Amino acid sequence: MVNVFEAKTRKQMKKFARFPILLYKGNPYYVPSFIVDDVNMKNKNKNFSAEGCEVRCFLAEKDGKIVGRIAGIIVHESNKKFNTKSVRFSRIDFINDLEVARALLKAVEDFGKENGMETIHGPWGFNDTDREGMLTDGFDQLSTYATNYSYPYYVEILEKLGYKSENEWVEYRFNVPTLDPRYKKLADMVQSRYGFEDIAETLTLKQLIKNYGDKFFDCYNSAYKDIDGYVDIVGKVKKSVLKQFASVINDKYYSVIIDKKTDKVIAFGIAIPSIAKVLQKHRGSLLRSAIGLKRVISKPKALELCIVGVHPDYRRKGANAMIINRIWTNVVKDGITDIVGNPMLTTNLDVLQQWKNVPHQTIKHRKTFLKEISE
Q: Residue ranges of the domains in the chain?
A: 2-169, 181-358
Q: Assign residue 24 a region: left if phi > 0, alpha if psi is -120 to 50, beta otherwise?
A: alpha
Give the C-alpha distances (Å, rounded to integers) separating 287 from 10, 11, 347.
18, 18, 39
pLDDT digits (tens, 9 = 90+) for 150-165: 999 999 999 999 999 9
pLDDT digits (tens, 9 = 90+) for 219-250: 999 998 888 778 888 888 888 787 777 778 89
pLDDT confidence tier of residue 175, bands split at 50, 70 and 90: confident
Q: Do domains 2-169 and 181-358 have the same CATH topology?
A: yes
Q: Which top CATH class is 181-358?
A: alpha beta
Q: How far apart are CA 233 and CA 224, in angstroms?
A: 10
Q: How far apart are CA 371 and CA 375, in angstroms?
A: 12
- Provide the pLDDT for residue 319: 92
What pTM does this model have? 0.91
Checking if the pLDDT of 331 tops 70, the result is yes
Q: How far apart are CA 161 and CA 366, in angstroms?
A: 18
For residues 102-130, average pLDDT: 95
- Provide the pLDDT for residue 246: 75
- Provide the pLDDT for residue 177: 67
Checking if the pLDDT of 375 tops 60, the result is no
- Provide the pLDDT for residue 43: 93
pLDDT digits (tens, 9 = 90+) for 53-112: 999 999 999 999 999 999 999 999 999 999 999 999 999 999 999 999 999 999 999 999
Q: How far apart are CA 370 and CA 105, in angstroms?
A: 12
In the predicted model, what is the mean pLDDT of the chain? 92
Checking if the pLDDT of 350 tops 90, the result is no
Q: What is the topology classification, in CATH, of domain 2-169?
A: Aminopeptidase (3.40.630)
Strands 119-122, 86-94: parallel, antiparallel or unpaired by DSSP? parallel
Cα 349-317-234 angle, rounded to 5 deg = 65
